Structure 1
């Protein structure tokens, strides 16, 4: 397909104009005009780009791209090596941050929820990125933590009594630990996200609401895969998800 057609389709599908983000969403680096092979990944690291180039990708599509707010401007060192890999192989870089978290079908939160058997019945947080649902039957924190570990192949860090019964489960992928208090205000019994910060322990202890940190990377692997699969079906392009493991 045509690169410009792909850009317009993605920008419209993910409704990028609605978001005030920390980085530009959309086409970040221009490559060849014809796109037949799209590699997806969580982060546009050098290892990911090298693997995508070896596969023969015409474009790469990620959640974490480049040109973040307050990032230094000089194209040197690590930034130079990454961009050189794109230029040398004429690969386009598409990146979607908050729009990919938010999308109701292929978004990170929608996809993580689906893998855990959770269907959000409402949103929370200042920008509505967090999802929350009420279970038909209560489960223990131990049961939910085991389900998260089995699904993500990653043992989460757990704050809370494992025998606690849960009815309201809230989640938001990635580095969304600052949504914890918003989840509490929304009535959550447990909040699942990717990362944890020092204040999180005190909030959990003082509120009695459980907290699970299952990894920024691990919780955000699924949206970009779903988006790549969608593009492959709709436009008959080849798609490959490349997972560069990250323990964080």
Structure 2
């Protein structure tokens, strides 16, 4: 049993529809390896540690959220990038990467998986007319205290969030964007939403939260984006009967 690397590419593209998204990197097969694929490693970032783990377990392909060839970075294959790609080529491992398509997929995506884990319901894009919007909004079935949401994030993601409080004693409505979505806070706050959850925080984010009176939670870029790749791997295994394994490389950021 197995699948060819281009059959897997076609399957992934049919599920994640990268052609619908304007992204910061190429989505799909970034580094071509062996033709036949019987074992896949799933991960968040195509770091050297993940590649080395894939070599150790005998993977034919790696599928990640954060791959290579980002806009604005040097195209030269030197240093760290040269070592990563050399390892892939030496062991004939295919590398697939899906960035925004894996954030926004309505069932398998990072946003959808985070909502499921936190118990958020009535989910719609923040910009309801834009199905490709990377920020989602919804609500909790019952209003909860900010302290309860902190505990829920910590328990669920194994990450103590940074919380900038507002004057609102309870949280009912919530918006979220996994990863580095802190720049959307002002747009969220203008809709009078009680809280905004994302992965990262910038210096100006705190001032916006204070001045626009919205609870802000930074729960970690890696911590909020572990679950899309894991869900996609489980879906591949169910759909194609291909052995997949999710490998979580610890990252406190």
Fold match, TM over 0.5?
yes
Counterpart mapping for 1:228-247 below 5 A: 228-247=233-252
Aligned to 2:139: 134
1:183 aligned residue (167, 181, 188): 188
The residue aligned with 1:79 is: 81
Query: Please, which of 208, 227, 237 is the counterpart of residue 203 of structure 1?
Result: 208
- After TM superposition, list the pairs within 5 Å mapping 1:1-248 onto structure 2: 1-124=3-126, 128-161=133-166, 164-248=169-253
How far the C-alpha of 1:161 sits from its partner, in A, is: 4.8
Shift of 1:162: 8.6
TM-score by length of 2: 0.95
Structure 1 unpaired stretches of 5+: none
In structure 2, C-alpha distance between the alignment counterparts of 1:113 and 1:120, rounded to whole Å: 10
The one-character-per-residue Cα deviations of 1:138-159 (angstroms, maximum 9, x if unpaired) are 1111101110000000100010
Distance 2:62 2:189 in 1: 37
Query: Using the alignment, how far apart are the partners of 1:104 and 1:178 within structure 2?
Result: 22
Q: Shift of residue 124 of structure 1? A: 1.3
C-alpha separation in 2, matches of 1:65 and 1:120: 32
Quick check: 70-79 or 123-132, which moved more?
Answer: 123-132
Hey, what's the Cα distance between the residues in 2 that align with 1:151 and 1:19? 29
Equivalent pair of 1:142/1:163 in contact (CA under 8 Å): no
Instruction: Report how many aligned residue pairs link the two structures.
Output: 248
CA drift at 1:30 = 0.3
Shift of 1:136: 2.9
Q: Compute the displacement of 1:201 (Å).
A: 0.8
Q: CA deviation at 1:186?
A: 3.0
For residues 121 and 173 of structure 1, what CA distance do their matches in structure 2 show?
15
- The list of structure 1 runs, each at least 4 consecutive aligned residues, that deviate by more than 4 angstroms after superposition, is none
**Structure 2, unpaired ranges of 5+:** none
